[in-house]
Chain A
Amino acid sequence: MKIMELAGIIKEKFEKSILSSSVFYDNETIVIRKEDVFDVIKFLKDEQSFDFLMDVTAVDYKGYPDRNDETRFEIVYNLFSYKNNKRLIIKTLVDEKDLTVNSITSLYHSADWHEREVYDMFGIKFINHPNLKRILMYDEFVGHPLRKDYPFKKRQPRINLRDVGKNEEEE
């Protein structure tokens, strides 16, 4: 099935939910409204047999050329259909003022950890996620490291590093 057909089917079902769709090599991408994420993915899973959720990730577009900050974050869902051997990328835009998206953990088990990682790295909150806490960083960590405004060389050691020179003097 071509992406246009699929976009048409979604459009029929969820009016106004598709913002755009594009094809780049074999990457077929559909951008949908944030409110419809859960419903559209549920529809794709149940009726278009996209049974694998390969990946969930986010991109911070702050400072990206030709792009305003209103849609700073983009969440990328990478779906795969084993039956039809088809890959589909669903994207949604998240405003900096309202960093929440509906969780799809009830649809795919794998969404649990993927969404936790997005929360950890970007600070986007997933509503209805059963266990939304940091996964790669430790709980005391301040900030979200993959945001563009998190400095590249900033260090937050969990235990303060010992000042070797000073100790030697004291001894």
Chain B
Amino acid sequence: MSLENNITKLEDGRLVLNMGPSHPAMHGIVRIILTVEGERVVNSEVEIGYLHRGFEKTCENSNYNQIIPYTDRLNYVSPFINEVGFVMAVEKMMGVELPERAKYIRVIMSEISRMTDHLTCIAANAMELGAFTPYFYLINARELLYQSGDMASGGRVTPNYFRIGGTSFDLTPDFIEFTKNALKKVDSYLSDTRKLLERNRIFYDRLKDTGKITREDAVSYGFTGPLIRSVGIDYDVRKYSPYLVYDRFDFEIPVADGGDNYARFLVRMEEINQSRKIIEQALLQLPDGPIDVDDYSVRLPQKDEVYGSIEGLISHFKLTFEGPKTPKGEIYFAVEGANGELGYYIVSDGTHKPWRVKVRPPCFPVTGALPRLINGGYIADIVATFGQINMIGGELER
């Protein structure tokens, strides 16, 4: 596109400027149409949809187990949480109660995902603001956690680990030792990053008082996760409606005041710490036992059952070809995603395929509020704000 098309001059000296869809200073594909007056943003409009792949329509034409790998691609930096949310919504609908070990595995993997998500967010944000060293520290730390997830699931970014009614494989014997070591290393990377960023003049100045939002507006815009906690509201699904075994762990919900980018940064940094605490406790408490429910209408039978008994063989065949069946009805189930409340609204017509799946992506309302966050600020502040709202195209546009 030529420059003339990109910049439109208005009569009163204002400019209409396109930022995106593919802009080097922003990750993700989103187009922001800015009206600027000098360096100030007067008005802005956000245009999304560049990564729309029809996730919800695809779900209506797939059976429940086929959808799990698709959910990995919603928020591709915290895939385990997406899976847990979807799988648990379906399980709740079917009335399946998981064995203890499976619950712990889900908690551990969810928290690993939360850590990788926050690490990526802070790393990318710092890099876009010119701090390159913390990026390498944090991405190295993330890599360790990815390896840990890889060790359990066999997939580094898109694990496809959980199943309706259980887990695809048990944790490997060296998983616990590896994860414990990884957490220690992550901790040292984090403390290095802290020293580099927290009181860094440039970093602080660019985050403090930019992208500000009031408490009332944040609530009205439907913010959740680190963004609502940065305006002083301690809403967290893990505490407010505990799922899995989150009520057994000692952890806190970090809250910050200010509602600006720096508050968001502080909340995310502390949340990584809290997640580490949860994983350490969960690894200590991790019980032995089965990882799948003992119900052949939900979860595949063991291989010796399949080859040794007719019931096992039939269930294996039925589950592979048709998938688990849900009762008629509808359910909304939310988990605490890395960015906030990740909800699944599933309507079933009593068959093997969902009638409708709606994902409530945490960054959808936040991106909707982006004009409110950047209007009145400088163009350069958009980069800081956009990094801190952590828009993930995969879940935003589904």
Chain A residues near B (Cβ < 8 Å): 24-27, 51-55, 57, 59-60, 64-65, 76, 78, 82, 85, 87, 89, 108-110, 112-114, 121, 134-138, 145-146, 150, 152
| Least CB distance, B369 to chain A, in whole angstroms | 7
Q: Are B49 and A138 in contact (CB under 8 A)?
A: yes
Q: Are B365 and A136 in contact (CB under 8 A)?
A: no
| Least CB distance, B150 to chain A, in whole angstroms | 32
Q: Are A64 and B219 in contact (CB under 8 A)?
A: no
- The B310-348 residues at the A interface (CB cut-off 8 A) are 328-332, 334, 341, 343, 345, 347
Give bound CA distance, A113 to B372, whole Å: 13
Residues of A within 8 A of B328 (CB): 65
Count of chain B residues near A, Cβ 8 A:
43
| Least CB distance, A141 to chain B, in whole angstroms | 10
Q: Are B92 and A25 in contact (CB under 8 A)?
A: yes
Beyond the given pairs A76-B358, A109-B221, A110-B220, 7 more chain A to chain B contacts, judged by CB atoms under 8 angstroms and listed by A's residue number, are A59-B330, A64-B355, A110-B365, A135-B49, A136-B48, A136-B49, A145-B54
Answer yes or no: B56 CB below 8 A from chain A CBs.
Answer: yes
Residues of B within 8 A of A85 (CB): 240-241
* 6 tightest Cβ-Cβ pairs between the two chains A and B: A110-B222, A113-B368, A136-B49, A55-B360, A109-B220, A57-B358
| Least CB distance, A19 to chain B, in whole angstroms | 16
Q: Are B233 and A82 in contact (CB under 8 A)?
A: yes
Residues of A within 8 A of B355 (CB): 59, 64
Chain B residues near A (Cβ < 8 Å): 48-49, 52, 54, 56-57, 60-61, 92, 217, 219-222, 224, 233, 235, 240-241, 328-332, 334, 341, 343, 345, 347, 349-350, 355-356, 358, 360, 364-365, 367-369, 372, 397-398
Q: Are A76 and B345 in contact (CB under 8 A)?
A: yes
| Least CB distance, B97 to chain A, in whole angstroms | 13
Given known A-B contacts A89-B332, A136-B48, A82 and B241 have beta carbons under 8 A apart: no
A to B CB contacts below 8 Å, 9 in the list: A27-B331, A52-B219, A54-B360, A55-B332, A87-B241, A109-B221, A136-B52, A137-B49, A152-B60
Residues of B within 8 A of A51 (CB): 219-220
